[in-house]
Amino acid sequence: MDFRDAPEEAAFRDRLRTWLAGRAGTFPKSGDEYWSRSAQWHRDLYGAGFFGLSWPTKYGGHDLPAVYDVILDEELARAGAPARPSLGYLVEGLGRHGSEEFRQRFLPGMITGDERWCQGFSEPGAGSDLASLTTTATLEGDEWVFHGHKVWTSYSDVADWCLLLARTDATVRRHKGISAFVVNMHQAGIEQRPLQMINGVSNEFGQVLFDGARAPADHLIGEAGEGWALAMTVVGHEREPSTLGFSARYGKLVRAMAAQVEGPPPAELLWAAVETEMLRLHVRRRLSERLDEVVHGPAGSLDKLLMTWTEQSVGHAALAVGGTRDPELLSAYLYSRAQSVMGGTSQIQKNIIATRILGLEA
């Protein structure tokens, strides 16, 4: 057992640290700056060889063990840099369920950041109960035609592509009739309606209305009716702090707050520091377990809860340090409330833990 870097890991960390040091002072200082520069950040990180670390080289990744992502997250937090772009769950979804041709076509652009993506799963009537979704896809000639209403779609306003779940068969029950598609966001038949979050930002998510939007027949991923399996892969990975790389965000904020307080730090900040350190170590443990080929399962729900508690403790620290008068810290606090909703609510995670891990019958 060793929590230290192996020599290759240490060399990687050094290179990364040097690169980040060279960019000190250039990192976004406000939420607005962060949003306006996030695409560039993705491309810069990729261009310098620090993104897509654990993904296959043939799609533009580096084929490194997953622990390199931990090193990346730790160093980003240390340098006060933005977190790594969080799209691992989409890469996993396409990587596992798309054909080779599909992967060749779409994964490289996703990984380099040249093509941006959004995830069209949730609907006004289908949130936790995703299998009740009603958006339809019908084959007309050699094209699929989509009708329906998606909501809470993150980054839909900047996305080039949407990973869309739609119903292809209304005659079979619930999840059996669901299929997954790749849909071009730049077309008539798609209408975007921005949504403003409680912290005031309108870049986070939006509503997307599909009224006759189209995709070529071969933009169906896998077979018709196989969309649910893909959806489960995506939401499973969306629960993993190691896939998301959010721990860098928490570490960065805790550090910034620690530098800002004078006198004895508030208890909330101390507790947030403890939670953040716990999560950092927890991610290391989980990624080490992958070396044993531990299969991806309901344990992701435990990780999602731990991540949520960490983010919300950091949010409470932000409130304790900045009160309601520091706009950036207040915004961090308000944003933290979404963590127990996005990617499956905390209640849904607890349902999964109780039934699938503890064996309590529902």
Partner 1 sequence: MDVRLTPEQRQLRAAAARLADDLGPGSVLDLADDDRVARLEKAVAATGWRSLRSDGASGVEVALVVEEFARGLVDVPFAGPVLADDLRRPADDRRDPAGAGAGEAQPWTIAVDGEAFDARGLRDVVSAEGNQLLSGRVGEPVTAIDLTRVRATVLGPREPVGELSPEAAGRWPALAVVVTAADALGAARGAHALAVDYAKVRSQYGHPIGSYQAIAHLLAESLALIEGSVSVLRHAAWAVDELSVAEARAAARIAKVYVQRAARTICETAVQVHGGIGNTWECLAHVHLRRVLTSTELFPVRLEEIDLGFS
Ligand X SMILES: Cc1cc2nc3c(=O)[nH]c(=O)nc-3n(C[C@H](O)[C@H](O)[C@H](O)COP(=O)(O)OP(=O)(O)OC[C@H]3O[C@@H](n4cnc5c(N)ncnc54)[C@H](O)[C@@H]3O)c2cc1C
- Interface contacts to partner 1, rule CB under 8 A: 1-6, 9, 67, 70-71, 254, 258, 264-265, 267, 269-271, 273-275, 277-279, 281-282, 284-285, 288-289, 291-292, 299, 302-303, 305-306, 309, 347, 349-351, 353-355, 357-362
Contact 35, 201 (CB under 8 A): yes
Among ligand X, partner 1, none, partner that 207 touches (CB below 5 to 8 angstroms by kind) = none
Output phi, psi for 117, to 5 deg: -130, 155
Binding mask 157-196 for ligand X (x = CB under 6 A): ----------------------------------------
Closest CA to 278 of 351, 270, 235: 270
Using CB under 6 A, which of the segments 17-25, 152-160, 251-259, 324-332 binds ligand X?
A: 152-160
Among partner 1, ligand X, none, partner that 328 touches (CB below 5 to 8 angstroms by kind) = none
Catalytic residue numbers? 238
- CB of 162 or CB of 283, closer to partner 1: 283
- CA–CA–CA angle 233, 236, 238 (5° rounding): 105
Min CB(237)–partner 1 separation in Å? 18
Binding of residue 207 to ligand X (CB under 6 A): no
Among ligand X, partner 1, none, partner that 21 touches (CB below 5 to 8 angstroms by kind) = none
**Residue among 102, 121, 144, 161 that touches ligand X (CB under 6 A):** 121
Contact 159, 118 (CB under 8 A): yes
- CB of 148 or CB of 344, closer to partner 1: 344
End-to-end CA distance of the chain: 39
**Residue among 112, 134, 288, 351 that touches ligand X (CB under 6 A):** 351
What is the DSSP-derived secondary structure letter of residue 123? B
* CA max distance for the chain: 70
Within 320-339, the residues that bind ligand X by CB under 6 A are 338
Binding of residue 345 to ligand X (CB under 6 A): yes
Give the DSSP per-residue string, 130-151: GGG---EEEEETTEEEEEEEEE
Length in residues, the chain: 362
Min CB(213)–ligand X separation in Å? 16
Place of tokens 């960490």: 310
- CB of 141 or CB of 359, closer to ligand X: 359
Give CA–CA dist 80/51, Å, rounded: 17
Binding of residue 119 to ligand X (CB under 6 A): yes
- CB of 86 or CB of 288, closer to partner 1: 288
Among partner 1, ligand X, none, partner that 1 touches (CB below 5 to 8 angstroms by kind) = partner 1
- CB of 20 or CB of 151, closer to ligand X: 151
Three-state DSSP class for 26? coil
* Token pair listed for 230: 């893909």
| Beta-bridge partner residues of 136 | 147, 167
Among ligand X, partner 1, none, partner that 169 touches (CB below 5 to 8 angstroms by kind) = none
Give CA–CA dist 164/179, Å, rounded: 8
- CB of 80 or CB of 343, closer to ligand X: 343
- CB of 64 or CB of 180, closer to partner 1: 64
**Residue among 80, 148, 300, 344 that touches ligand X (CB under 6 A):** 344
- Residue 63 has a CB neighbour count (10 Å cut-off) of 12
Place of tokens 């990744």: 61
Give CA–CA dist 279/305, Å, rounded: 11
Give CA–CA dist 102/90, Å, rounded: 13
Helix 67-79 to helix 247-260 angle (10° resolution) is: 20
Among ligand X, partner 1, none, partner that 344 touches (CB below 5 to 8 angstroms by kind) = ligand X
Q: Which residues bind ligand X (CB under 6 A)?
A: 118-119, 121-122, 127-128, 152-154, 204-205, 338, 341-345, 347-348, 351
